[in-house]
Amino acid sequence: MEIAPHFILYETDHWIINHHLSSALPGYLMLSTKVQTTSLTQLSPDALAELGVLLARTQQIIEQQLLPKRLYIGRFGHEPGWPLHFHFIPVYQWVEDLFWKDARYRLLQNFAYAADALSSTDGAELTLFIWREFGENPVPPEIQGPSVDEVISELRGAFI
């Protein structure tokens, strides 16, 4: 898949870091291999060595520049045709506040087994909220703070 240059923050010989193409959440980044594979076992030793450094550096830059309340890092994809990639999902306080105000997501608590389910949530619930509301919703929630374009510019400068 071709990534529009506007979304690219940083590239190495083996990896590319870009803002998520379809997310309206500022700072939602992707780290993808340039090799068409879905398996770490098919990457070169150099690419694997670079991966650890880029995971840590991307985390550090997001946390220092954007100051999210939480930062989720994960690998979810299993669709053929997509290269191996990792998601960096910043969870800002205002995003969590939106989550708590949306009654549709309270239905998840019917399945919660934690005693304090009404006052806490977990990464899976917030990730679902972010994917649905900032990625799939044709009218995403209003952003608080810098826009996606402003964040791309800021983070691009931090990677240099």
> What average pLDDT score do residues 135-147 get?
96
Q: What is the 3-state secondary structure (H, E, C) of 60-77?
A: HHHHHHHCCCEEEEECCC
Q: Which has the higher per-residue pLDDT, 103 or 121?
A: 103
Count: domains in the chain: 1
| Spatial distance between the Cα atoms of 41 and 7, rounded to a whole number of angstroms | 28
DSSP 2-25: PPPGGGEEEE-SSEEEEE-TT--S
Query: So what's the pLDDT on residue 84?
Result: 92
Residue 109's pLDDT band (cuts 50, 70, 90): low
Residue 115's pLDDT band (cuts 50, 70, 90): very low
Closest by Cα among 100, 69, 83 to 30: 83
Residue 142's pLDDT band (cuts 50, 70, 90): very high
Query: So what's the pLDDT on residue 112?
Result: 54
Whole-number average pLDDT of the chain: 91
Q: Name the 3-class secondary structure at 91.
A: strand
| Spatial distance between the Cα atoms of 152 and 8, rounded to a whole number of angstroms | 8
The CATH number assigned to the domain holding 119 equals 3.30.428.10
**pLDDT (tens digit per residue) in 13-37:** 999 999 999 999 999 999 999 998 8
Tell me the residue range of the domain where 100 lies: 5-159
